[in-house]
Chains A and B, each alone.
Chain A
Amino acid sequence: MPNSCVATAPAFREARILREATDENGRYDAAKIAHLLDWTVSDIARYLGRDASTISRFGASPVHQEKLAALASLTQEVFEIMREDLRATRAWFRTPIRALDGKSPQQLILSGNFRRVSSLIEESRSGLSL
Chain B
Amino acid sequence: MLTGEPLDSAILKLPSRPRRDTYFRAARLIFASDPLGKQRPIVAQRFNLAGGARVLYLADDQVTALHEAQAFGFPASSIAIIPVQFDLRAVVDLRDLAVHKLLRTDTAELSLNFRSSLAGNPALTQLLGERVAASLGIDGLLYESPARPGHINLAVIEAALNILGSSLMVNDPNNKLSDSLP
Contact = CB atoms under 8 A, between A and B. Distances in A.
Interface in A76-130: 81-83, 85, 88, 92, 95, 97-101, 113, 115-116, 119-120, 122-130
Contacts of A123: 43-45, 72
Contacts, number: 97
Contacts of A97: 71-73
B138 interface: no
Interface residues of A, number: 26
B113 A99 contact: yes
A113 B40 contact: no
Given A82-B76, A124-B74, A98 B147 contact: yes
B67 to A, nearest CB: 8
Interface residues of B, number: 39
B61 to A, nearest CB: 14
B145 A130 contact: yes
A127 B40 contact: yes
Contacts of B71: 97-99, 128, 130
In order of increasing CB-CB distance, the 9 nearest A-B pairs are A129-B57, A88-B76, A128-B69, A98-B71, A97-B73, A130-B146, A128-B26, A126-B40, A82-B76
